[in-house]
Structure 1
Amino acid sequence: MFVCAGCGTELTAPVSRVALPVHADYGAWEELHPPLMDPGTYAAEPRSVVVIAPGDSRGMSLIPEKCAGYCMGIDGRDGPNLACEGCGRAVATRRDDCGLWQVIWLEPDAVRRVASGLPAVPVPGWDQLDLEAYAVPPVELDGSWSRRWHAAVPVALAHLVVACGGRPVELPGPLAELVGATAGCLPAGPPVLTSSLAGPGTPAPRPGADVLLVPRHPVTGETWRPPYGAAPPAVPLDIGVWAHLALPGETSPLPASGTLPEGVLRDDYPLPLRPRHAFRPHHRAFADTLERLRGIRSPEPPDTPSPAGPGRGAATASSPPGSGTSRPPRA
């Protein structure tokens, strides 16, 4: 858990470290968002900025004069807006305005991590993950594209562009069908390279693939590596997106054999959700990731504003160090 560096007041519930989601900085403008982090987890960046879910906060209260926002909540523009209830020290910033994932960012110099006394949570290996439980559908219940897909797909596409050296590449079928031309993120022209989905629990990719789209571990942030010999370059893809694309699911409302009895109608099978418009990748997510990977400065389009978090830049798209057998700190 994390406590106030000044007086020791507990500021969070017991939390275990996980990878920072790649969509942390990229939301849908003028829409309310859910919490970025799952309950009982935290993520940290190289500059030691720590993020938790608002529900895991303890012993903090809002500083009223620092709670400005755009229209529906607090956007953190005034800096730390949460004070320790023990000593009054500014210790964190809450953000929950429209276009922002709900988070609390702990100030690195105002808090310290202490052991909670609970057993460390083992990091699951790839063969221990319930991959189907991680799958995130591309379309929300209201017919809009998933905010997570909106950001995670262009982050992966930026990695793909770099892995392919800027050459045109053909996306694997499921991804190509869902996102179409990806709004110009990929180089134009007839494909000269091919990509394929690969990962744990799936068959080996078809021969001839030039690059693999593989899942990113939800805890360590590591990119999955094929267990078989030499393999093409691997591009990390958000595990929620990857699991939906790569894993088989129920595809028919009909029985496995035979037919439904005469006069019987099945009403427990939902029709597939249809988006209201074509998929539009979050261009800031693509441009920011490409800039980090290649040092290319790309113009920021005006239609996808999203203020950065306090004292931090965009979410990291590269894989942080770690291993499938290490144990994350349980604070």
Structure 2
Amino acid sequence: MTVFGCRACDTALTAPVSRVALPVHADQKYGNGPGSLVPALEPGTFAVNPLPSGPPWRRWAELDAGEAEALGWHAPRFSISAGPVGRVLITPGDVRGVVIDPGLVGDSACCGLADGEPNMVCVTCGTPVAIRIDDCGLRQATWLNPLTTHILEDGPGPHPVLDWADLIDQRPGIPPTEPGGGWHLMWAAAAASALAHLLAASGGGPTVIPDHQVAEVFRPTVERLVGPVSTGQERILVLAGPGVPDADGHFALIPEHPQTGELWPVAPPVKPVPLAWDAWRHLAIHRAPKPVGRSVPIPPEALPALLPGHRFEPDGQIFLSVLARLPEIRQPRLRAIYDRGRPYSYSFYRF
């Protein structure tokens, strides 16, 4: 098990937790309420952000040559973090021995607590150790400050690492719709990240998507960004992963292991396009039931829709953020796509 504690006095600050991969929706923002979003992690888990996060912030125009790339960015942003790496995400219910200090709560939030400087302190010694987030439109979270916390105990936690076969059996994925019929926000984030990787792999070129359910998710947005496929441009995106028969294609939509972050391997020259496990599993394994009592084959376009009737909107902020972190963004075609959306980097961007 892993337990985090205060660097100053070694007080335990968390319950025993198991490490998982940092989900792409960890910093997701959606609208302006009402209320905060559910945590990005399951109870009993933690994830580490390997990139700089939090203050100090640097204006893009003030950075010297090479500084932005060293901080993980390859396209302009208004400002980027030059803070510490290794910030640890914990679900709020797994935190122990810390309290919110009203004197450290800033005034920039709307209805709750927002990201910024630490606002939680160790109950034993008063050291600021974490940031609690629960503001409207933000995911509920506690982020441990890597400068004032450390690992007290390290070992296998309450959630053992599953192999791919066990994932297929035990983690069935998340349906794309909420109970009320709207899009699931995890899907909006996962698809946005995969879309950025697909455009990077294709150089911003048109892509053929033969699988009906994958096409429902990605084709409308791809065509809005790069245009429809013309004859001679048949570069194909296929599904690949555990339990999926091999198919020929130029790009493979593959799963990310939700615990280790490992990507399902594909052989060159096929280029991988990673997708969060919970979305990939549902796309790859779940098939809409076919009507019974028919002897005539049903074409894919006549099958029941996998997704809600209204148009799917990937998370624009996540799309722009992921794209800006990929070196391929330097290609003129991709940079043009990014620059069209760049004014919306810190607001709701609709494709």
Report the TM-score when normalising by structure 2: 0.73
Separation of aligned partners in 2, 1:73 and 1:35: 15
Separation of aligned partners in 1, 2:214 and 2:313: 13
Q: Kindly report which structure 2 residues correspond to 1:202-241, keeping only aligned pairs within 5 A, or say none.
A: 202-205=244-247, 207=248, 209-226=249-266, 232-241=270-279
Residue 100 (structure 1) shift: 1.1
Question: Alpha-carbon deviations, 1:16-68, whole Å to 9, x = none?
Answer: 11100011122321243111111111111221111110010000101113334
Does the 8 Å contact 2:176/2:307 carry over to 1?
A: no
Residue 230 (structure 1) shift: 5.3
User: What corresponds to 1:22 in structure 2?
Assistant: 24
Question: Alpha-carbon deviations, 1:159-191, whole Å to 9, x = none?
Answer: 011111221112342122245512766422325
Does the 8 Å contact 1:150/1:282 carry over to 2?
A: yes
Residue 76 (structure 1) shift: 2.5
Within the alignment, does 1:194 sit opposite 2:232 as a pair?
Answer: no
- 5+ residue gaps, structure 2: 51-84, 294-303, 330-334
Does the 8 Å contact 2:119/2:131 carry over to 1?
A: yes
What's the secondary structure of 1:91's corresponding residue? strand
What's the secondary structure of 2:236's corresponding residue? strand
Does the 8 Å contact 2:29/2:138 carry over to 1?
A: yes
What RMSD, in angstroms, separates the aligned Cα atoms of the two structures?
2.8
Does the 8 Å contact 1:17/1:42 carry over to 2?
A: yes
Residue 276 (structure 1) shift: 6.7
| Structure with greater proportional helix content | 2
Q: Which moved more, 1:116-125 or 1:95-104?
A: 116-125
Question: Alpha-carbon deviations, 1:194-215, whole Å to 9, x = none?
Answer: 101111011112x3x1111010
Does the 8 Å contact 1:154/1:185 carry over to 2?
A: no
Q: What amino acid is the match of 2:115?
A: G
Q: What amino acid is the match of 2:21?
A: A
Aligned counterpart for 1:161 among listed residues 199, 202, 205: 199
Within the alignment, does 1:96 sit opposite 2:134 as a pair?
Answer: yes
Residue 11 (structure 1) shift: 0.4
Separation of aligned partners in 2, 1:84 and 1:254: 61
Within the alignment, does 1:34 sit opposite 2:74 as a pair?
Answer: no
Separation of aligned partners in 2, 1:5 and 1:48: 15
Aligned counterpart for 1:283 among listed residues 316, 329, 338: 316
Q: Kindly report which structure 2 residues correspond to 1:66-215, keeping only aligned pairs within 5 A, or say none.
A: 66-67=104-105, 68=107, 70-77=109-116, 79-115=117-153, 122-130=160-168, 133-171=171-209, 172-178=211-217, 180-182=219-221, 186-190=225-229, 192=233, 193-205=235-247, 207=248, 209-215=249-255
Separation of aligned partners in 2, 1:254 and 1:132: 29
Separation of aligned partners in 2, 1:177 and 1:97: 33
Q: Which moved more, 1:48-57 or 1:95-104?
A: 95-104
Aligned counterpart for 2:14 among listed residues 12, 18, 22: 12
Structure 1's 274 and 247: CA in aligned 2 closer, same or farther, altered over 3 A? closer
Structure 1's 99 and 303: CA in aligned 2 closer, same or farther, altered over 3 A? farther
Separation of aligned partners in 2, 1:24 and 1:119: 21
Separation of aligned partners in 1, 2:261 and 2:31: 27
Structure 1's 184 and 58: CA in aligned 2 closer, same or farther, altered over 3 A? farther
Separation of aligned partners in 2, 1:175 and 1:186: 17
Structure 1's 210 and 276: CA in aligned 2 closer, same or farther, altered over 3 A? closer
Separation of aligned partners in 2, 1:99 and 1:54: 16
- 5+ residue gaps, structure 1: 256-270, 307-331
Report the TM-score when normalising by structure 1: 0.78
Q: What amino acid is the match of 1:33?
A: L
Q: Which moved more, 1:121-130 or 1:176-185?
A: 176-185
What's the secondary structure of 1:38's corresponding residue? coil
Q: Which moved more, 1:217-226 or 1:114-123?
A: 114-123
Structure 1's 118 and 43: CA in aligned 2 closer, same or farther, altered over 3 A? closer
Separation of aligned partners in 1, 2:242 and 2:307: 29
Residue 273 (structure 1) shift: 8.8
Does the 8 Å contact 2:15/2:96 carry over to 1?
A: yes
Structure 1's 288 and 184: CA in aligned 2 closer, same or farther, altered over 3 A? farther
Does the 8 Å contact 1:25/1:100 carry over to 2?
A: yes
Identity of aligned residues (%): 38
What's the secondary structure of 1:130's corresponding residue? helix
What's the secondary structure of 1:26's corresponding residue? coil
Q: What amino acid is the match of 1:221?
A: G
Residue 280 (structure 1) shift: 1.2
The aligned length equals 286
Task: Considering Cα pairs closer than 8 Å and 6+ residues apart, tell me whether 1 or 2 has the greater RCO.
Answer: 1
